[in-house]
Amino acid sequence: MVASEQALVTGKQLDTLSINTIRTLAIDAVQQANSGHPGAPMGLAPVTYCLWQEFLRYDPEDPKWLNRDRFVLSNGHASMLLYAMLHLSGVREVAENGEVLKELAVPMEEIKRFRQLGSRTPGHPESYVTTGVETTTGPLGQGVGNSLGMAIGSKWLAANFNRPNFEVFSYNIYAMCSDGDLMEGIGGEAASLAGHLKLSNLCWIYDHNNITLDGPANWSFSEDVATRFIGYGWNVTRVADANDLEMLGRAFEVFQKTTDRPTLIIVDTHIGYGSPNKQDTNAAHGEPLGEEEVRLVKKFYGWPEDAKFLVPEGVREHFHDGIGKRGHDARAQWVKMFAEYSQKYPELADRLHRMERRQLPDAWDKKLPTFPADAKGVATRESSGKVLNALAENIPWLIGGSADLATSNKTTLKFQGAGDFQAGSYAGRNLHFGVREHVMGASVNGLTVSGIRAFGATFFNFSDYMRASIRLAALMEAPSIFIYTHDSIGVGEDGPTHQPIEQLASLRAMPNLIVLRPGDANEVVEAWKIIAQLQHQPVVLVLTRQALPTFDRTKFGAASGTAKGAYILADAPGGKPDVILMGTGSEVSLCVEAYEKLKAEGIQARVVSMPSWEIFERQDAAYKESVFPPAVTARVSVEMASTFGWERYVGLKGRKIGMHRFGASAPLKDLLKFFGFTADAVVAEARKAIADK
């Protein structure tokens, strides 16, 4: 046997050894945790190995390299597959300050602590827990939705930052997905939009294993996926056996050579031993194999049956010589190129530096509008549109769009050079998501974790379609921006299907989410200042369709009080009110009307505008008590939504004016009178609150 043949045999042996190491690490971790899904990592190990070892442009020594390829495990239940790859590839830990440390992101002790409290190896991948996890996945479909946003982000970054002879951005996005990801509606939305936009940098790897948690996939799923994706405008290729590394390599090569559309690689896998003839029921249904089955599996792999968490000699070195060396060399070339780029284009390099650290440009808040006092006023969606355009002109990486409602949401960026993001023209800052609220939310998250400040907009009632994405943004500590207009029964004739009731209360219940409902145009300006400076929290901005009075700030409290979440807008003489009226959004002006009427009757009231409960709760006790003195127990809340939660501020004796049913279809004035949102109704409740104290 000649030396080259010997090397080939040794190489194939190392391939098999490495793949089986991935499999057995997953098996052992699941077995030790007595919880998890061993099947998908067993079946997909060769696919992931081939991708990472031969094609993924990624340097384990710098997992935050700007031009790295992104790998998304949308079928997040296969998390041990990713943890094994991070461990064997030697991916380094990154500190909170961005410093790359010498320690591994996933050392062996963390693999042994799979699914345990405080480990870096939770049951589903969490980006804020584990370095190397690009985005939090778990709810099926969210990962592929994120991958769409990442692919849009890559194209946008390339179009805006690349210059002749300086290809700063050219990275691809690989998303591994399951039958479940393709069953979920969000998967279809993502595929449809990706095909429309011709995102040639996006590759989905479909684990076609014919199994779901309940049993055979054909119990519920029998469509021709290949034909469906061809219809979406994708390039589709198939690998009939997941163990065929040569065919897998060809499929990835086809993707990399395809320049006019996204690619779907359908890979036929077999849950169990990695053999077409072996399938294990426990593995298929997301349970540990059991000790006896583990021994049988290891015997099949030619593995020491009693060995646990074994990484054979030569495996780590093999990964180091593969993805490690390729990634190191690719990054070294890029770093050299970027140093020259930084000298030639210092402004662009500075922009990237700030984006990476979620910092703002100098003078980011210049020329923000201010709004004069106006009894007729303006809808907060209108004032928001003006502020958004001013901010986006100052912050070149603030981009976004709407679910086919940009004209209504007032989210179109209209300044010179804003442009539209379209197939083949990727520099534009206006994104057109179409009627696809689910994937709009996931895409905004994908863009945000790519360093871009992104927003998505629709009607507030349709935030229900986006809850999973909002929740994951909060979980990931990603500063995604969700803009919602048509915030109440103020929608009028559109009726109860479009009139949000419980949405404010339910979103306020979500940890690490800021809800902002400004009460006039100048509160909108202050709200956007808060949003621009967020680094680790998503925000929901809730806006009206109907006009609201713009308060005369020479008579009333300064709008800058918005920064504290709640503030005194109007007060009693000497700061000693008989009753406190509090509200958000459009109902603040109702409180002010009632305040004036009570004043005429000799009743001293205080009006508190509360644009954000979450921000108010961060204030110290002294400030909170200055707004809500404990001695003043006569209190009334006014909000055109569910009253759930207002007892926190009105107390047990307070009164709550709100919605206790779904809305109705009628002109706004009729609805306000019917549901009791009038100044007279507020006055009546204030009198009752005073009498009850």
Q: Encoding tokens for residue 222?
A: 């029998």
Q: Which letter, b or e, does each residue of 611-626 get, where b requires 16 or more Cβ atoms within 10 Å of its Cβ?
A: bbbbbbeebeeeebee
**pLDDT tens for residues 371-397?**
999 999 999 999 999 999 999 999 999
Is there a contact between 657 and 638 (Cβ–Cβ < 8 Å)?
yes
Residue 238 has pLDDT above 90, yes or no: yes
Say whether 587 is catalytic: no
Q: Encoding tokens for residue 155?
A: 């194209």
Q: Encoding tokens for residue 97?
A: 């300050």
Q: Encoding tokens for residue 178?
A: 């399951």
Which residues does 529 contact at the CB level (< 8 Å), separation at least 6?
365, 368, 563
Which residues does 282 contact at the CB level (< 8 Å), separation at least 6?
38, 288, 289, 290, 293
605-609 and 567-570: which strand pairing? antiparallel
Interval 550-556 mean pLDDT: 97
Q: Helix, strand or coil for residue 53? A: helix
Give one DSSP letter per residue of 410-429, joined into a string: T----STT--B-BTTB---S
Mean pLDDT (the chain) is: 95
**Which pLDDT score, from 0 to 100, does residue 277 have?**
41
In this structure, which amino acid lies at residue 19? Answer: I
The phi, psi pair for 670, rounded to 5°, reads: -65, -40
Confidence of residue 2 (pLDDT cuts 50, 70, 90): very low
Interval 219-247 mean pLDDT: 96
Confidence of residue 272 (pLDDT cuts 50, 70, 90): low
**pLDDT tens for residues 33-84?**
999 989 999 999 999 999 999 999 999 999 999 999 999 999 999 999 999 9
Residue 330 has pLDDT above 60, yes or no: yes
Same fold flag, 3-332 and 563-692: yes
**Which pLDDT score, from 0 to 100, does residue 611 have?**
98
Q: Helix, strand or coil for residue 441? A: helix
Interval 487-505 mean pLDDT: 96
Confidence of residue 218 (pLDDT cuts 50, 70, 90): confident
Residue 273 has pLDDT above 80, yes or no: no
Interval 450-455 mean pLDDT: 98
**Domain 374-548's class?**
alpha beta
Q: Which letter, b or e, does each residue of 28-38 get, where b requires 16 or more Cβ atoms within 10 Å of its Cβ?
A: bbbbbbeebbb
Confidence of residue 94 (pLDDT cuts 50, 70, 90): very high
What is the Cα 574 distance to its own chain's centre? Answer: 47
Instruction: Give residue for tokens 């930052």.
Output: 161
Q: Encoding tokens for residue 453?
A: 């400040």
Q: Which of 189, 437, 526, 614 is catalytic?
A: 437
Every domain of the chain and the residues it spans: 3-332, 374-548, 563-692
Residue 286 has pLDDT above 90, yes or no: no
C-alpha–C-alpha distance, residues 275 and 241, integer Å: 9
CATH architecture of 563-692: 3-Layer(aba) Sandwich (3.40)
Low-confidence winner among 8-22, 161-175, 445-459 (lowest mean pLDDT): 8-22
DSSP-assigned beta bridge partners for residue 67:
none
Residue 275 has pLDDT above 50, yes or no: no
Low-confidence winner among 120-134, 143-157, 263-277, 644-658 (lowest mean pLDDT): 263-277
The domain 3-332 belongs to what CATH superfamily? Thiamin diphosphate (ThDP)-binding fold, Pyr/PP domains (3.40.50.970)
Q: Encoding tokens for residue 619?
A: 């204030």
Q: Which letter, b or e, does each residue of 67-104 get, where b requires 16 or more Cβ atoms within 10 Å of its Cβ?
A: bbbbbbbbbbbbbbbbbbbbbbbbbbbbeeeeebeeeb
**Which pLDDT score, from 0 to 100, does residue 287 have?**
77
Instruction: Give residue for tokens 């759930």.
Output: 644
